[in-house]
């Protein structure tokens, strides 16, 4: 099995190993979504007008929660040195780790977004667009989150620092993803969101690998 | 020229006379620009006296972008050529740029309340300026969070370069999206403000730029002094 495939399987297993598999981030996501009508009041008209885009906040928080341990565990147990020694480029390794996180967390999140958006009074015909846009959006979050996680990997209690570094860059996917959820469907904002996802998946692993090399020195 | 100042001793010799010079220049420019903008230039035919906030708000906005671009250049030089003082420069510039961004946001909000009827609007320009302010804060926090100074510099350089994408978004946001915010005053070869307002505006911009140069040099000198004290303390403890 190639090094990349082995890394993918390992990271998938690690992400799902924290008892309950994909249920942990999905549960976090459902919990955060539940807070929305509690905060806004249960008025159905208000929720229908403003609710569906708020699944994006819950998705961003769920991805942020998973980022902290992404590279910290590898630095602590020495896997980072092994990755640097392998013939495969570190950028490819980081991309594969991000892909594993997306499969482990991002895909379950976008599937869980279907009932969540319905609970927030989204119209049924908008649900496929919301699910597809969240698949792209979680990829965008993870792409840029890789940079934050790599930079803050050696820091104690890095969660808040990662959030501070990464949240400004979450803004474009959230803006366009919320436009999709707010009624634009598969139109213009969806395409721009796809562009954001492509850009962060392309650039994130390069910057993250540069930061990881600094950790190993 | 950049490589000349990789030598801290040469930089300290240069900044010893350059800092008071820029400081005096800033003081003179503010002494000209503030009364000119505050009293001696005309009020706007639509906005009345509130247009005078422009002389504080617009140069602060321009400087927050210029400072971030400077930090980006310094970060690039630091990463590629391992320039000794480039990350010192970037770290020194960050709080100044963050303050300019905060001044821009606050004065803009004060200006918007009577003219737009709102303290804040989530349009492209204001949102991307707020994102720039948050990137500044994240950059400053990152320097503080990592213990090893040299590594902190490289991480911060990576973060700064990734954040450069925001600058064209801010600049072109008023063209790309419909917005309450004014369009750029540089329209092709002409300017969209009255000529009587260009003078005080450019004077204040030059004053802000001289102020940035002064504060940057002061911060860098303080950082180098701090490093020397640390080195001295380590040597005497050994």
Residue A138: enclosing H or E segment and its boundaries? helix A127-151
Lowest mean pLDDT among A128-132, B27-31, B93-97: A128-132
Q: pLDDT at position B124, please?
A: 82
Of A151, A158, A171, the CB nearest to B127: A171
Lowest mean pLDDT among A135-139, B123-127, B230-234: B123-127
Q: pLDDT at position B18, please?
A: 94
Q: pLDDT at position B39, please?
A: 84
Please state the domain count of chain B. Answer: 1
CA dihedral B106, B108, B109, B113 (to 10 degrees): 150
**What is the rounded average pLDDT of the residues A74-87?**
85
**B190 is a domain residue:** no
Question: Among all residues of chain A, which has the CA nearest to that of B169?
Answer: A172
Residue A27: enclosing H or E segment and its boundaries? helix A23-40
Q: Which residue has the higher pLDDT, B4 or B96?
A: B96
Residues of B in contact with A168 (CB under 8 A): 131-132, 134-135, 138, 163, 166
Residues of B in contact with A210 (CB under 8 A): 158
Contact across the interface for B158 and A154, Cβ inside 8 Å: no
Residues of A in contact with B141 (CB under 8 A): 161, 164-165
Q: pLDDT at position A19, please?
A: 60
- The answer to whether A130 and A179 are in contact (CB under 8 A) is no
Calculate what percentage of chain A has a pLDDT beyond 70: 98
For chain B, give the mean pLDDT. 89
Chain B positions contacting chain A at CB under 8 Å are 127, 131-132, 134-135, 137-138, 141-142, 145-146, 151, 154-155, 158-159, 161-163, 166
**B9 is a domain residue:** no
CA angle A209, A195, A53 (to 5 degrees): 105
Quick one: B33 exposed, middle or buried, by C-beta within 10 A (0-12, 13-18, 19+)?
A: buried
Q: What is the spatial distance between Cα A24 and Cα B141, in angstroms, rounded to a whole number?
A: 29
Beta bridge partners of B190: B187
What are the CA-CA distances from residue A211 to residues A91, A153, B97, B151, B234 (Å)?
11, 9, 24, 9, 28
B interface mutation test: which of A72, A163, A167, A168 has the most B CBs within 10 A?
A168
Show contacts of B107-115: CB within 8 Å, 24+ apart: B107/B53, B107/B56, B107/B57, B107/B60, B108/B57, B108/B61, B110/B53, B111/B50, B111/B53, B111/B54, B111/B57, B112/B180, B114/B50, B115/B47, B115/B50
Look at the pTM and tell me if it is higher than 0.90. Answer: no
Q: pLDDT at position B149, please?
A: 84
**B187 is a domain residue:** no
ipTM: 0.76
Q: What is the spatial distance between Cα A140 and Cα A137, in angstroms, rounded to a whole number?
A: 5
Q: Measure in Å the smallest separation between the Cα of B194 and chain A Cα atoms.
A: 35
Mind listing the pLDDT tens digit for each residue in A14-23? 888 766 667 7
User: Is residue B96's pLDDT more than 90?
Assistant: yes
**B225 is a domain residue:** yes
Q: pLDDT at position B232, please?
A: 93
Task: Give me the domain span that covers residue B36.
Answer: 16-179+196-237
Question: Among all residues of chain B, which has the CA nearest to that of A204?
Answer: B162
Q: pLDDT at position B1, please?
A: 66
**B91 is a domain residue:** yes
- A87-112 in b/e form (b: 16+ CB < 10 A) is eeebbbbbbbbbbbbbbbbbbbbbeb
Mind listing the pLDDT tens digit for each residue in B183-205? 777 776 777 778 888 889 999 99
**What is the rounded average pLDDT of the residues B66-92?**
93
Q: pLDDT at position B59, please?
A: 94
**B191 is a domain residue:** no
**B99 is a domain residue:** yes
User: Is residue A145's pLDDT more than 90?
Assistant: yes
Token digits for A124? 């049924």
Q: Which residue has the higher pLDDT, A8 or A183?
A: A8
């Amino acid at each position: 099995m190639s090094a990349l495939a082995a890394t993918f399987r390992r990271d998938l297993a690690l992400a799902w190993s924290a008892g309950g598999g994909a249920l942990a981030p999905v549960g976090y996501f459902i919990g955060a979504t539940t807070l929305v009508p509690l905060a806004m009041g249960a008025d159905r008209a208000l929720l229908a007008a403003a609710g569906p885009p708020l699944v994006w906040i819950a998705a961003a928080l769920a991805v942020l929660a998973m980022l902290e341990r992404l590279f910290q565990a590898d630095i602590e147990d020495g896997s980072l040195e092994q990755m640097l020694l392998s013939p495969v480029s570190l950028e490819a390794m980081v991309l594969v780790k991000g892909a594993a996180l997306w499969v482990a967390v991002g895909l379950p999140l976008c599937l869980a977004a279907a009932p969540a958006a319905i609970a927030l009074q989204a119209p049924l015909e908008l649900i496929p667009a919301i699910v597809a846009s969240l698949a792209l959006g979680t990829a965008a979050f993870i792409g840029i989150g890789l940079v934050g996680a790599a930079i803050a990997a050696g820091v104690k209690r890095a969660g808040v620092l990662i959030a501070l570094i990464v949240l400004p860059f979450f803004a474009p996917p959230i803006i366009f993803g919320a436009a999709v959820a707010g009624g634009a469907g598969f139109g213009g904002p969806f395409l721009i969101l796809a562009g954001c996802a492509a850009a962060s998946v392309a650039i994130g692993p390069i910057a993250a690998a540069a930061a990881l090399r600094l950790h190993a020195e | 020229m950049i490589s000349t100042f990789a030598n801290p001793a040469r930089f300290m010799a240069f900044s010893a006379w350059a800092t008071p010079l820029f400081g005096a220049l800033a003081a003179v420019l503010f002494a000209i620009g503030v009364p000119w903008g505050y009293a001696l230039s005309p009020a706007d035919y639509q906005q009345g006296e509130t247009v005078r906030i422009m002389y504080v708000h617009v140069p602060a906005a321009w400087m927050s972008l210029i400072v971030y671009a400077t930090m980006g250049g310094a970060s690039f030089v630091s990463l590629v050529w391992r320039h000794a003082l480039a990350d010192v420069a970037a770290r020194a510039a960050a709080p100044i740029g963050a303050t300019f961004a905060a001044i821009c946001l606050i004065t803009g909000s004060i200006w918007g309340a009577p003219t737009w009827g709102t303290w804040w609007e989530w349009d492209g320009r204001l949102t991307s300026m707020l994102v720039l302010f948050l990137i500044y804060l994240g950059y400053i926090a990152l320097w503080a969070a990592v213990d090893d100074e040299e590594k902190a510099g490289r991480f911060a350089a990576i973060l700064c370069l990734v954040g450069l994408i925001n600058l064209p978004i801010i600049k072109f946001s008023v063209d790309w999206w419909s917005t309450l915010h004014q369009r750029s005053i540089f329209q092709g070869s002409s300017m969209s403000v009255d000529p009587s307002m260009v003078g005080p505006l450019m004077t204040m911009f030059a004053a802000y730029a001289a102020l940035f140069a002064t504060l940057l040099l002061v911060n860098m000198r303080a950082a180098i002094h701090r490093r020397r004290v640390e080195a001295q303390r380590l040597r005497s403890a050994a």
